[in-house]
Chains A and B, each alone.
Chain A
């Protein structure tokens, strides 16, 4: 029997480059709108259930900047905090987790070296391991995994990879529909449902969010456990609340601010 009270999570994603949040931001009330720690706290206060910080440069030089950012953000944030981007080994994961992240998102490295999933899970527990899958539609009902920020095809089937990731110790799947990313035309519900019903771990849908109705669709039609968006939340602090209000009206359990 499905659980009727576990809330569907709305997750805010911050894309960070050299210690600054990138993408259009209209948080005018903030002193420094591009500061990841400040934005993470603002999203938390606005009702986001979880924060994902994605280091989109992840060059060797930016690692120390990232760790400093993670530490500063974690010190002020008291909701779950996921960090991804450029995590290639147990050592990389340990550095981020030791700076206060609760979970790491593994992407390209998990494809190149699947044992990294198991190593991090054995040391920190599966609840600390999110496997991020970037998928593009291949045939009407199959999707291919891409790496390197969605630039390089792998020939691997997304559904098969999700099942394998779970077996290796992943605690959650962060599933991005590359075809929808940035389009604001709605989540890929067919992809999300295919993956979410193939694994016994939560699936976070990503890519394509543009309006509150898109979140209703991805929970009802896509069977997602959580939904993530970046740019949709940068339109203003009201948007998380608006999304949750619409979800509640649709009968979907959400955590509303007290």
Chain B
């Protein structure tokens, strides 16, 4: 399993969580090593601009090929947003486009970032959320929200419903931080590792 290091934020907490689960992983930005991994996690916090290395070049090419070939991928937070078509935060960059629509900023009517524990409304069958009941609380911290789409398997409500979890075949994205969501988050990471 490779944790793709494209220079956005704290990857250490994801590594620690996987280690706690007894799972091996490599943190890398080397397209060759990424290509050899059997599964990918794309974490990340911060500005959508940070996804630039995923939009162009060899790393992008490797990821897109792997996704077409059915390699399991889990995007976390900014990683989930990157799996959509793009974000209003950096309109010049293209996302992976695995899920339709563009991420938009929360309006001024609510405090932003959306920080804290909020609940999941599970909307459909999900391999990633196996064993997780609807209403479960997980930890979020983000200022942009992904739209609800056909691939949305769980929503969260802040101002309006947004995609908390999206899933299509071997592609999974979570807006919250499973590595910071206690036992529930560990279960979700384990579900991905066990695929």
Q: Hey, which bits of chain A sit against chain B, CB under 8 A?
A: 1-7, 9, 44, 49, 74-75, 78-80, 97-98, 100, 102, 124-128, 171-172, 200-202, 225-226, 255, 258
List 10 additional contacts besides A5-B118, A127-B46, A225-B115; criterion CB under 8 Å.
A3-B114, A7-B137, A44-B182, A78-B182, A102-B180, A125-B46, A126-B143, A200-B108, A201-B113, A226-B116
Q: Could you say which residues of chain B place their CB within 8 Å of the CB of A225? A: 111, 115-116
Q: Provided the pairs A171-B113, A200-B112 are in contact, do residues A79 and B159 lie with their beta carbons within 8 angstroms?
A: no
Residue ID in chain A nearest B187 by CB atoms: A258
Contact check, B117 vs A255: say whether CB atoms are below 8 A apart: yes
Give residues of chain B (1-56) contacting chain A, Cβ–Cβ below 8 Å.
9-10, 12-13, 16-17, 20, 45-47
Judge whether B113 and A7 touch: CB under 8 Å.
Answer: no
Flag if B180 contacts A201 (CB, 8 Å).
no
Instruction: Give the top 3 A-B pairs by smallest Cβ distance, nearest first.
Output: A255-B137, A125-B46, A127-B141
Q: Report whether B111 and A102 are in contact in the complex, using a CB–CB cutoff of 8 Å.
A: no
* Inter-subunit contact A79/B180 (CB<8 Å): yes
Pick from A1, A6, A258: contact of B116, CB below 8 A.
A6
- Determine the residue in chain B with the shortest Cβ distance to A78: B182
How many B residues face the partner with a CB closer than 8 A? 40
Q: Which A residues touch B67, using CB under 8 A?
A: none
Chain B, 133-151, contact with A by CB distance < 8 Å: what is the 0/1 string? 0001101011100000000
Q: What are 17 inter-chain pairs, A to B, with CB distance below 8 A? A: A3-B110, A3-B118, A3-B157, A3-B159, A5-B157, A5-B158, A6-B118, A7-B118, A78-B17, A78-B179, A79-B182, A100-B12, A125-B47, A201-B111, A225-B115, A225-B116, A255-B137
- B170 at interface by CB-CB < 8 Å: no
B13 touches A102 (CB 8 A): yes
Evaluate whether A1 and B159 lie within 8 angstroms (CB atoms) in the complex, with A49-B117, A78-B20, A78-B180 already known.
yes
CA distance A128 to B118 in the complex (A): 19
Instruction: Tell me whether B17 and A2 are in contact (CB under 8 A).
Output: no
Q: From residue B158, how far is it (CB to closest CB) to chain A in Å?
A: 5
Does B186 lie at the interface of the complex (its beta carbon under 8 Å from any beta carbon of A)?
yes
Who on chain A is nearest to B15 by CB?
A100
Residue contact B16 to A100, C-beta cutoff 8 Å: yes
- Which residues of chain B have C-beta atoms less than 8 A from A258's C-beta? 136, 183-184
Cα–Cα, bound, A109→B54 (Å): 36
For B143, the chain A residues whose CB sits under 8 A away are 126
B185 at the interface (CB under 8 A from A): yes
